Structure 1
Amino acid sequence: MPMPNSPDTAKGGGWSLPDNWPAASRAKVRAMLTAPGQPFEMETVAIDGRPTRVWKNAPASLRAIALAACDHGDALCTVYNEERVSYDSWFRATAALAHHLRDAGVRKGDRVALAMRNLPEWPVAFFAITSIGAICVPINAWWTAQELAFGLSDSGSKAIICDIERWDRLNSNEDSAPLPEIRIVSRAAEPVKGAERLEDILGHTDAWADLPDRDLPEAEIAPDDDATIFYTSGTTGAPKGALGSHRSLCTNVLSSKYNLAFAPLRRGEMPPAPERKTVLLVIPLFHVTACSAAMVGYFVSGHAMVFMHHWNAEEAMGIIEREGVNLTGGVPTIAWQLLDHPARKNYDLSSLELITYGGAPAAPELVRRIREEFGCEPGSGWGMTETMATVTGHVAEDYLNRPDSCGPAVAVADLKIMSADGTEELPVGEVGELYAYGPMIAKGYWNRPDATAESFIDGWMRTGDLARLDEEGFCYIVDRAKDMVIRGGENIYSSEVENVLYEHPAVTDAAVIGLPHQQLGEEPAAVVHLSKGQSASEEELQQWVGQRLAHFKVPVRIVFTDEMLPRNANGKILKKDLRALF
């Protein structure tokens, strides 16, 4: 009897399977792509003493990627408003900044914080830091002053490279810990007290082409050396830094290409020859999705990356038309807003070839509409900060056929479904906790051996997601064991917001849940019980949270209840019972 969602029966979001699809099974396509001598050939190496499949042809390090990207020469690298930077100019700036950091005393293993919006100098700083063996710490540019200060302190950063907005925000926090000894600030119109201006080191972006033609400073970097610390909130509300290796990030270069190569072979066609594309990259580079799954690979391929000051759907459509953008996405919100914008008919979006995203579930209707209304391919995948992004993925017919799946694991990764106590692997089709294994998995949490031991077990990452696998290995995320809301791809851990609400003198009980939202996936909302004789309004509590946490974490609605919140026998709030209040 055919399984639900099998190739013989599935119709995703109103889409019907072509008569001649698939021309080849996934097993056959995988064998073709990973055969000896092919680009996706694999080999087994020891990572922390454990045998692990890796891409044989993956770049050895981020330094190796930077050196290879220099060969793209005059090809366009980044676009930001009127600023256009070639790969040659990018490399000159990267080498200059790398030498400056080395001369300032930054050494292998030192942490260097990177806190800024998506700007042409972001990839310059990222590759300058990692190419000399230092550890880049991309910090969430949306964080408050207190959160930014925590990231600097927890990582023990020796240097910080930030834009003037983040600098001003950091200096607005009187209670923050001392700033790193090396401070470089970009986009400052005037000299900055206590810091160097990046423009005094490199010049403005239009002057990078005139910088000396220099090599990167000498550095010995092995694939499993430390490369990055990306912060992710824990369920206790305290952010944890996921420590990634050069191999972790470089694995994604071929993982993304592997997923894209599947679609044509499944329909009986050969994958097209590689060519440079133009990408509208609107998700923040401080996320692994944008940095690891996207930007790092784009430097290998020589793609042009277009950045925006902030997301605006109509402005984005103008950019797509003007720049001939081929790829965009990041989170489903982007696709929804492009599809539903009333001005879409005024723009030529025919250059779009692929809209791909992760970070939040997408409705089957969205998958179908991308194909039907844009005439381009939809793509999706799953990963998390602790996996340095890509673990699963699928595009085109496979995604249209299973729109509620995040795809199967890439060839170098393994997935398994475990029982709640972690002692038993569950059979196909059963729901349990998702575990992931592969060369992309982070090395652990920075300076958190307790949390590392809890989540990283013999090379497997306990994801906290509840999922099932079908007979072909397609993964379906059915719920989250970790208590968080995902708003447009941004993780909001309920306990972090709840802890802030509890700090308000009038609040004695609080719970945060996710409310469905067509474009954002979810939005945070709160249920609050006030102390007897105390009062507080919805607006007052929203302002209270907004003064202490990033704006996207502020509950969009707050409902007050006269009684303490319902709990089970173990004292855990029954959050499913609270949704009816909204």
Structure 2
Amino acid sequence: MTGMSLGDASRHVTSENPVFELKMALVRGTEYRVFKNIPPHARALVHASREAHADGAAEYLVFRDERWTYDAFLNEINMLSAVLEEDLGVRKGGRIALATRNCPEMLILMMAIASLGAVTVFLNAWWTTEELDFALRDSDAKIVFADAERIKRLTPLAVDLKLVMIGLRDGEALTPLKYSTLRDSAGHARTSEVDIDTDDDFAIMYSSGTTGHPKGVVLTHRGAMNAVFTWLMQAAMAPLIDPPPPDAAEAPRPSVLIVTPLFHVTATHPMFLLSLPAGAKLTLMDKWDAHEAARIIDREGITRFMGVPTQSADLVAASRDLCLSLDTLDFLGSGGAKRPAAQVVELAQAFPQANIATGWGMTETNANGIGMAGADYLARPGSAGRLYPPLQDLKFLDDTGSEVSVGEIGELTVKSPCNMRCYLNNPEATAEVLSDGWLRTGDLGYIDDEGYVTIVDRKKNIIIRGGENIACLDVEGALHRHPAVAEACAFSVPHTRLGETVGAAVQMRAGSTLTVQEMQDYLSDHIARFKIPEHIWIQAAPLPRSATDKIDRRALRAICLSKLNDLEGSS
């Protein structure tokens, strides 16, 4: 049986399946294609998805030795919603921060907060006190749920920022207010009746940009819901594009393993939120351990795994060490960073039953974007895939804002209802990237005549270390804090496992001396550990400059990498 084209499958599903019926909607002055019949907001999504989980009876959430049915999970959301409103005074539009490693309470709180029309502020669990201070001031979040390590970093800020800190798990020993006590005091569970508009704010997630501080990406309910149903529609289209054989066994219930941090959009959206309407079981890890992940996949029958490329490579090695086939896996995706082309074949050989997949998306797009899997990906391992239908539009622009031709390199620019509302408190940065619904992504690439997109470079000075976005100016700002530093420039250094790591060149002030270790120790108080340069080149001479008298980052990087290669070659 011959399969449909991507376009034909999209047209068939949107015309035949009422769930994916389209309409036009005016959003903040711009018209978009949107799904007509999907839940309008997160509270409606979590309740409407109960039927997909055996009317609430199916096992839904697994964390270590703890297990919840869907109804038990929904009950927890309703109880916490009541506690937030009645005991903590949370109201529509209020901002509540989460600062913790992955744990079930993050998911429960995220949905309880959303159920009240309030806004979850996701704080990066690796941030220092300094970085947490900026985000809390920027978001004006006063209530913070945190685990022990984050409470220690937040404590110096508590009085000045008037924080109400509520301990989660090991954090309960450090705070007067405890999650378990609040939960037990609820006494009852009830569904919130607060009126929520689909264009109300849903979450704030911080994303590194070209400025020294991270930018708060404001996401709406409409954006998140339309992204979720875009991915759900790809699953509905798949058998039309690649029809299964007539005697194919019924597919098992989807079972998802979350291994990336829930303060990133990859974990919250195409993993957690999608699991709700997809009827998928969810298993959560709080920290990456490849051998433990392999054992969980084997034990829980995991079908869907998505992580940064290094985690996929680690999983291959772990499965071999443990002699586990992991043959329940049918989807092995990559998010956060581009997978090396050589890894695509290796994964296909290690897990022949799985569709090896890749994708491109941003916090600013609610993770919606581009992707492909299986034979398409094996044939084009350097590509990011094709635009997910049916809501998005795409074009590539030159520096003047004019559209370039097929095959020519330009800045990837996308339009969809999934795009962010704005950067929080930053209208200038918002105006730089958003215009008439179009989002300029900062990624450079091209599209071929079959619609496949290849990303070739980043217009922004961003380093992607194992899926973590690191702004060069963020690192440089921390380096410049040291009184001995006259100039500093950060750049990416290739890394076989992480893809990229951070490098920096530093010019010292006259008469100053400093070792690499001393600089790294100093930085540990100012930026998160993953941002600290692994390689630092220290020199007395000025850093090279371009014709416009700016530091020539590209030339400097080439010089430093040449020195590194010479050093490694002689060792």
TM-score (ref. length: structure 2): 0.92
Query: Which letter does structure 1 place at the counterpart of 2:228?
Result: V
Counterpart position of 2:23: 43
Structure 1, residues 316-357: CA drift from partner, whole Å, max 9, x if none? Answer: 111111222111122111111112348435224111111112
Query: Which letter does structure 2 place at the counterpart of 1:131?
Result: S
Counterpart position of 1:396: 374
- Of the three residues 338, 348, 360, the one matched with 2:315 is 338
Label 1:189 to 1:449 Cα distance change in 2 as closer, same or farther (>3 A). Answer: closer
Structure 1, residues 224-272: CA drift from partner, whole Å, max 9, x if none? Answer: 1111111112312112111111011111212222334444333334999
Counterpart position of 1:81: 64
Counterpart position of 1:415: 394
After superposition, where does 1:28-427 map in structure 2 within 5 Å? 28-37=8-17, 39-71=19-51, 72=53, 73-103=56-86, 104-171=88-155, 173=156, 177-180=160-163, 182-188=164-170, 192-193=174-175, 195-203=176-184, 214-269=189-244, 276-341=253-318, 343-375=320-352, 376-411=354-389, 412-422=391-401, 424-427=402-405
Displacement of 1:33: 2.6
Label 1:487 to 1:176 Cα distance change in 2 as closer, same or farther (>3 A). Answer: farther
Counterpart position of 1:16: none
2:90–2:118 Cα contact (<8 Å) kept: yes
CA distance in 2, matches of 1:293, 1:348: 25
Work out whether 1:509 is the aligned partner of 2:487: yes
- Equivalent residue of 1:35, what SS? helix
CA distance in 1, matches of 2:38, 2:359: 20
Displacement of 1:223: 1.2
Structure 1, residues 478-497: CA drift from partner, whole Å, max 9, x if none? Answer: 10000010011100001100
Counterpart position of 2:563: 581
Label 1:58 to 1:331 Cα distance change in 2 as closer, same or farther (>3 A). Answer: farther
- Give ranges in structure 2 of 5+ residues lacking alignment: 565-571
Displacement of 1:150: 1.7
Displacement of 1:212: 6.1
CA distance in 2, matches of 1:190, 1:400: 48
Displacement of 1:70: 4.1
- Of the three residues 474, 481, 484, the one matched with 2:452 is 474
Label 1:28 to 1:269 Cα distance change in 2 as closer, same or farther (>3 A). Answer: farther
Query: Which letter does structure 2 place at the counterpart of 1:162?
Result: A
Counterpart position of 1:26: 6
Label 1:224 to 1:132 Cα distance change in 2 as closer, same or farther (>3 A). Answer: same
Displacement of 1:184: 2.1
Work out whether 1:528 is the aligned partner of 2:511: no
Work out whether 1:430 is the aligned partner of 2:413: no
CA distance in 1, matches of 2:458, 2:83: 44
CA distance in 2, matches of 1:269, 1:70: 28
Structure 1, residues 401-442: CA drift from partner, whole Å, max 9, x if none? Answer: 2221212212211111111132x1111111111111101100
Label 1:179 to 1:467 Cα distance change in 2 as closer, same or farther (>3 A). Answer: farther
Counterpart position of 2:569: none
- Give ranges in structure 1 of 5+ residues lacking alignment: 1-19
Displacement of 1:499: 1.0
Query: Which letter does structure 2 place at the counterpart of 1:413?
Result: Q
CA distance in 2, matches of 1:295, 1:446: 24
After superposition, where does 1:426-575 map in structure 2 within 5 Å? 426-575=404-553
1:326–1:354 Cα contact (<8 Å) kept: yes
CA distance in 1, matches of 2:465, 2:313: 14
State the aligned residue count. Answer: 552
Displacement of 1:549: 0.8
Identity of aligned residues (%): 37
Query: Which letter does structure 1 place at the counterpart of 2:25?
Result: V
- Equivalent residue of 1:461, what SS? strand
CA distance in 2, matches of 1:272, 1:531: 70
Label 1:88 to 1:567 Cα distance change in 2 as closer, same or farther (>3 A). Answer: same
Structure 1, residues 452-484: CA drift from partner, whole Å, max 9, x if none? Answer: 111111111111111111112222111000001
Bigger helix fraction:
2
Displacement of 1:561: 3.2
Name whichever of 51-60 and 477-486 sits farther off: 51-60
CA distance in 1, matches of 2:388, 2:38: 14
Query: Which letter does structure 2 place at the counterpart of 1:296?
Result: L
CA distance in 2, matches of 1:240, 1:30: 34
Displacement of 1:174: 5.8
TM-score (ref. length: structure 1): 0.90
Label 1:87 to 1:23 Cα distance change in 2 as closer, same or farther (>3 A). Answer: closer
2:39–2:48 Cα contact (<8 Å) kept: no
Displacement of 1:498: 0.8
